[in-house]
Structures are given as structure tokens and as C-alpha cells.
Amino acid sequence: MDIKKAFLGIDVGSVSINVVAIDQENNVLGKIYVRTEGKPIQILKKAMGDMVSMLPANVEIMGVGTTGSGRELAAVVVGADVVKNEITAHGIAALTFVPDARTVLEIGGQDSKIIILRDGVVSDFAMNTVCAAGTGSFLDRQAARLNIPIEKFGELALKSKSPVRIAGRCAVFAESDMIHKQQMGCRCEDIIRGLCEALVRNYLNNVGKGKEILPRVVFQGGVAANVGIKKAFEEALGYEITVPEHYDVMGALGAAVLAKEYVTTKRGCNTKFRGFEEILKKEFTSRTFECTECTNFCEIVELIAGEAVAARWGGRCGKWARINQPAQERFVVGQN
């Protein structure tokens, strides 16, 4: 049986953890989308277990990339070759799967970003600063409050004939305005449509401000599943919007593509991937302590894999950052 070469991309975000495996032609061999539930390590291990059962037995992982807010943690847990921020990963994924893209609108659970692509490279980007954050989480919450499945939320918006204007400066005000409109007897679909429009307005005014939005416009991230938001974007921009097939795991796809490029350009490089078996078997724990060696009093977080310290974060002086110390110098668990 032939061995098939595959590359893993892992996106550990605030709301979801996505794992994808691609082959050398960027075909998706398997994809997992699970909720983070605030337990990134356990859920990541579970997702890796699911990935094993999804992939055929003759697949060999040649390289791994991680991205998302939990990229550093994920990199240590699985043993990654490339650790990349989510802006670059999303830009690379859009360019790989929609080569003529010039603008990427990305709305995830917590962050919103706009990426401007020109001549096949990322030429500018912006991320939500003061507001327009948490759009995905907010939609989730509203769907739950109205007792409408999140998958149906966008469709309902399309049924609206006369949208209601919702004040969408921030989630708290948007929610109270929504409730106010409900109590006045407005129809549910009109309110949802109004909400979609408010979120799009907020995104374009806060994240997309000052950026030149040119077609082709790609819309990705978990919120791209919402047809109501997509429609609102199309109306506001006047362009047709492309939602790529794997819109929900574009970050992970970008990380996989980067891992593939890294391994192929650096020839003879062996992947640092721990292997599925070891990841599933190994126990990962973490602890924090305050370093009192100097007046900075940094809070140090330690990740322990099995018995050994696998990573440390948080020190200002560089003393704790050095993980690759000789064994005898290493900080022993239980000391201090």
C-alpha cells in the first residue's frame, strides 16, 4: 500500500478548535470542527483522536502548523513545525483556495478582521480594536435566547420584508435595543435581519474603516455560515461575496498550507510532530506561580507534558523562557 503524505493544520480559537489534514495538492482529507468549551488541551486531544479515525491508515503526517489564540499551547501539545498568527494563516488560506481574492472579511467567535490582498500577497490588514469583537459569540447567544437553532438564524433573516434598525455599537447596547424592539411587538425575522445589518455596519465602520474593499470579496470564519450576514454584506458593499467551501476552518487550512510550504522548502527537515499515539497518551497539566527573583514579579505559566516541563510563558527577563536548558538545570516539578 502506498504511503500518502499529509499535512496537519490546527486552529485553536476561543470558540472552536479546528483540525484539518490536507494532501500535497491541498485536497482536504479530513476536517474536524469542535467547540473549545474553555478546555483547549482536552478538546484538542479529543479532536486529534477523531482525526485519526477519519484518516486512512496509509497516511503519514509530514508537517504540522498551528494558529489561533491557542497556537503556542497547541504547538507544544502536538509538536508543531510552524506557529503562525491567525491573520497570516487566514490570508494564506484565502489566497490558496480563492486565488483571485483581493479582500477577505473574516469574522470568528471573538475577533473580526479584514485582510487586503494585492498581487497575491497580504498588503494590509486590520483587526477589531475597541469594538466589533465577539460577533460570533454574540450571534450564538442571541440564537439561544430566541430559541432558534444557530443554523436557522441566517435563513430567518432572509424572510424579513421590513428590517428593524438595531443600535449596534456594542453587544450590550445591541441586545437591549433588540429586546426593546421585541417588547414593542416587532416580528422576530425583522429583528434578526436588523441585527445582521447592524453587525455588518459595525464591522465596516470599525474594522474595515479606511481600507479599500475591492472584489473579489471572500467571507470566511464561523459567521460566514450565516446567510443573513452574507446578504447584508452584499447589500452594503454592492459586490457579490464568495464563501469558500471550507469557510469554517480556513485558519487551520492556512496553517496546514504553511506547514507544507515550510517542510518542502526546507528539504530534509523532519517534522516535530509527536505522533497521534503519543498525544493521546500523554498527560498535559499546567500550573502558575509568581517569580519573586526581582521586582518585576512576573506570573509564570508552566506546561508540563508527562513529567517534564514542556514550555513556560510569562517571564519578562528571559530567565524562564529558556526551555532548552540542559536536564540538570531544568526546573523540577514540585520545587518552589
Partner 1 sequence: MKVTFPHMGQVYLAIKGLLDDLGIEVVVPPPITEKTLEIGTKLSPEMACLPLKINIGNYVESIQKGADTIIIAGSCGPCRFGYYGVVQKEILKDLGYDVNMIIFDPPNSDYGVFIDKIKKLAGKNSWISVAQAFKRASAIVKEADEMLDIALKKRAREINKGDVDSRLNCFEQEVLSRHGNDEILETIRKYKEILSQVEEKSDVLPLKIGLVGEIYTLIEPYVNLNVEKKLGYLGVEVYRSITLYEWVKLHLSLDVKYRMRHKRILRKAAPYLSLCVGGHAWQTIANTIYYSECGVDGVIQIMPFGCMPEIVAESILPRVYQDYGTPVMTLVVDEMTGEAGYFTRLEAFVDLLEQKRRGRVDGYKEGLFGN
Q: Is 258 in the site for partner 1 (CB under 8 A)?
A: yes
Smallest distance from the beta carbon of 173 to partner 1, in angstroms? 18
Our CB check for partner 1 shows the closer of 203 and 262 to be 262
Q: Is 87 in the site for partner 1 (CB under 8 A)?
A: yes
User: Among residues 33, 49, 54, 88, which is the contact residue for partner 1, using CB under 8 A?
Assistant: 88
Smallest distance from the beta carbon of 130 to partner 1, in angstroms? 7
Our CB check for partner 1 shows the closer of 86 and 177 to be 86
Q: Is 321 in the site for partner 1 (CB under 8 A)?
A: yes
The residues near 28 (Cβ < 8 Å, ≥ 6 apart) are 20, 21, 22, 246, 253
Nearest to 77 by CA among 333, 314, 272, 256: 272
- Complete edge-to-edge strand list for the sheet that includes strand 59-67: 28-35, 16-22, 4-12, 59-67, 82-83
| Alpha-carbon span 193 to 142, nearest angstrom | 13
Q: Is 316 in the site for partner 1 (CB under 8 A)?
A: yes
Cell of 144: 439561544
Size of the site for partner 1 (CB under 8 A): 34
Q: Is 83 in the site for partner 1 (CB under 8 A)?
A: yes
The residues near 2 (Cβ < 8 Å, ≥ 6 apart) are 58
Residues 289-314 as b or e (16 or more Cβ within 10 Å = b): eebeeeeeebebebbebeeebbbbbe
Q: Is 85 in the site for partner 1 (CB under 8 A)?
A: yes
Quick one: DSSP state of residue 331? P
| Alpha-carbon span 191 to 272, nearest angstrom | 50
User: Among residues 152, 297, 306, 308, which is the contact residue for partner 1, using CB under 8 A?
Assistant: 297
Smallest distance from the beta carbon of 217 to partner 1, in angstroms? 19
Binding region for partner 1 (CB under 8 A) out of 31-39, 150-158, 231-239, 261-269: 261-269
Binding region for partner 1 (CB under 8 A) out of 36-44, 54-62, 80-88, 232-240: 80-88
Q: Residue 74 — φ and ψ, nearest 5°?
A: -60, -40
Our CB check for partner 1 shows the closer of 50 and 289 to be 289
Q: Residue 310 — φ and ψ, nearest 5°?
A: -95, -30
> Scanning residues 135 to 194, which ones bind partner 1 (CB under 8 A)?
none
User: Among residues 27, 129, 270, 335, which is the contact residue for partner 1, using CB under 8 A?
Assistant: 129
Q: Are 289 and 336 in contact (CB under 8 A)?
A: yes
Q: Is 323 in the site for partner 1 (CB under 8 A)?
A: no
Q: Residue 116 — φ and ψ, nearest 5°?
A: -100, 125
Q: Is 106 in the site for partner 1 (CB under 8 A)?
A: no
Binding region for partner 1 (CB under 8 A) out of 86-94, 174-182, 217-225, 246-254: 86-94
Q: What is the DSSP string of 263-280?
A: HHHSTTPPP----HHHHH
Binding residues for partner 1 (CB under 8 A): 69, 81-88, 111, 119, 121-125, 127, 129-130, 210, 258, 261-262, 265, 294-297, 316-319, 321-322
